[in-house]
């Protein structure tokens, strides 16, 4: 059976390490659960280890969260479109926004629900994804900060997700200065700057994140331990939280060099990490076929745990792994384990052909937790000063 396994003890370890980093910086944080695709067992485990603020970009996943953990603090992480306004208000406490009309629609929906909805104003700082241009920030804030059913918690930015450029201290300092500008002009406190992410954790560990950056949205580091700036794994984190175990369906000694010199008609590129060196003609070795293919995931994002194993290529439903001169005792029915990068994991978790499982079983894991386990207060409870600085009217 092909399955993604989630090591709940490793997940708890990563949570506790990241939570300590946040405490040392004086920041709050939201666990980004997008990669789980609503997988209930892990969402439940997160709630039991102390996570109270979770963010997702799919309303169906937030709905799953609400069923498991009715009192959770939900963050909607995709800028809302007009068709989802009502659900955003019902299913999330906070949303990220970059359109005035959208915030006004959220205000109307919140009024109908009798609640106050919280927003972060997103600012464009170079990733060229969501965010208003800095030059329009004052007028934007003036249009929304006094809406009775909207609480502007602060400003934020998305860094590194689209353009892929690593965040830097200059960008983070810009956000600190923009908040100071708004607070001075409008005499109103903005408690949060939400710009921390897995990509900014290396800066945090190097002491290069300004104290004003006081909210982080963290997913990849929590589930994979990835150091997105330097490569490898972040200090103290584990990279074995989530692994792919793929069953061997065929294992035979075969020639390793592809026959023929004509043009390839393969529907998928044969190029794979670690499998691009063409073996010399006549070289033989053991090749294992596993029942995971391009339909299921981004095969280029898989790395066998055994460094002697190399992915030779993949079709829609089958991946071929070169095992070398010695299969190492593996046989048909055994499993080969893989690390996954974020895109590969995301597709596997969303794939209905791949089984998901937690280890140990959820009930065993929950029974092992002590009452002294760390619990993180929801972000909104960490905000103690949301009152106006000197009144709540704009300065003239």
Residues with a catalytic annotation lie at: 34
Query: What is the C-alpha separation between 283 and 105, in angstroms, rounded?
Result: 66
Long-range contacts of 100-106 (CB under 8 A, 24+ apart): 100/140, 100/143, 100/144, 103/144, 103/147, 103/150, 104/144, 104/147, 106/80, 106/150
Q: Would strands 94-97 and 73-76 be described as parallel, antiparallel, or unpaired?
A: parallel
C-alpha angle 31-34-39 in degrees, rounded to nearest 5: 95
Outline where 73-200 has alpha helix (H): 85-91, 100-113, 137-144, 169-186
Closest among 329, 94, 316, 364 to 215, alpha carbons compared: 94
Query: What is the C-alpha separation between 122 and 138, in angstroms, rounded?
Result: 13
Query: What is the C-alpha separation between 174 and 141, in angstroms, rounded?
Result: 17
Beta bridge partners of 96: 120
Q: Which two tokens stand for residue 195?
A: 């710009």
Q: Which two tokens stand for residue 121?
A: 């104003």
Cβ within 8 Å of residue 295, ≥6 positions away: 316, 317, 351, 353
| Crossing angle between the packed helical segments 169-186 and 137-144, to the nearest 10 degrees | 50
Beta bridge partners of 31: 54, 218
Cβ within 8 Å of residue 329, ≥6 positions away: none
Closest among 7, 14, 36 to 348, alpha carbons compared: 36
Q: Which two tokens stand for residue 131?
A: 């965010």
């Amino acid at each position: 059976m092909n399955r993604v396994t989630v090591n709940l003890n490793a997940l708890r370890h990563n949570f506790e390490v990241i939570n300590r980093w946040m405490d040392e910086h004086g920041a709050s944080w939201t666990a980004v659960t997008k990669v789980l695709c609503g997988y209930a067992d892990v969402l439940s485990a997160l709630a039991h280890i102390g996570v109270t603020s979770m963010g997702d970009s799919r309303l169906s996943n937030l709905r799953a969260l609400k069923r498991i953990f009715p009192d959770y603090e939900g963050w909607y992480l995709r800028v809302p479109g007009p068709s989802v306004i009502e659900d955003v208000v019902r299913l999330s406490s906070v949303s990220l926004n970059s359109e005035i009309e959208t915030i006004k629609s959220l205000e109307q929906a919140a009024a109908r629900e009798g609640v106050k909805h919280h927003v972060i104003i997103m600012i464009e700082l170079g990733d060229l994804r969501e965010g208003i241009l800095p030059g329009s920030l004052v007028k934007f804030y003036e249009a929304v900060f006094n809406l009775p059913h909207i609480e502007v918690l602060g400003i934020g930015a998305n860094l590194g997700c689209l353009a892929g450029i690593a965040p830097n201290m200059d960008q983070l300092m810009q956000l600190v200065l923009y908040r100071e500008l708004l607070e001075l002009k409008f005499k109103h406190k903005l408690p949060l700057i939400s710009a921390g992410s897995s990509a900014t954790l290396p800066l945090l560990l190097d002491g290069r994140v300004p104290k004003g950056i006081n909210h982080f949205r963290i997913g990849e580091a929590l589930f994979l331990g990835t150091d997105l700036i330097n490569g490898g794994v972040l200090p103290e984190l584990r990279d074995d939280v989530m692994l792919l175990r793929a069953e061997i369906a065929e294992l035979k000694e075969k020639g390793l060099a592809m026959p023929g010199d004509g043009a390839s008609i393969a529907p998928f590129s044969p190029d794979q990490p670690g499998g691009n060196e063409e073996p010399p003609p006549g070289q033989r070795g053991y090749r294992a076929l596993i029942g995971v293919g391009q339909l299921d995931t981004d095969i280029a994002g898989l790395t066998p745990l055994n460094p002697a194993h190399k992915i030779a290529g993949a079709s829609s439903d089958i991946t071929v792994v070169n095992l070398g001169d010695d299969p190492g005792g593996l046989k048909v029915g055994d499993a080969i384990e893989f690390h996954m990068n974020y895109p590969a994991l995301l597709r596997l978790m969303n794939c209905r052909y791949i089984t998901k499982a937690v280890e140990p079983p959820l009930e065993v894991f929950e029974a092992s937790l002590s009452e002294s386990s760390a619990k993180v207060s929801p972000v909104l409870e960490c905000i103690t000063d949301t009152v106006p600085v000197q009144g709540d009217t704009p300065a003239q």
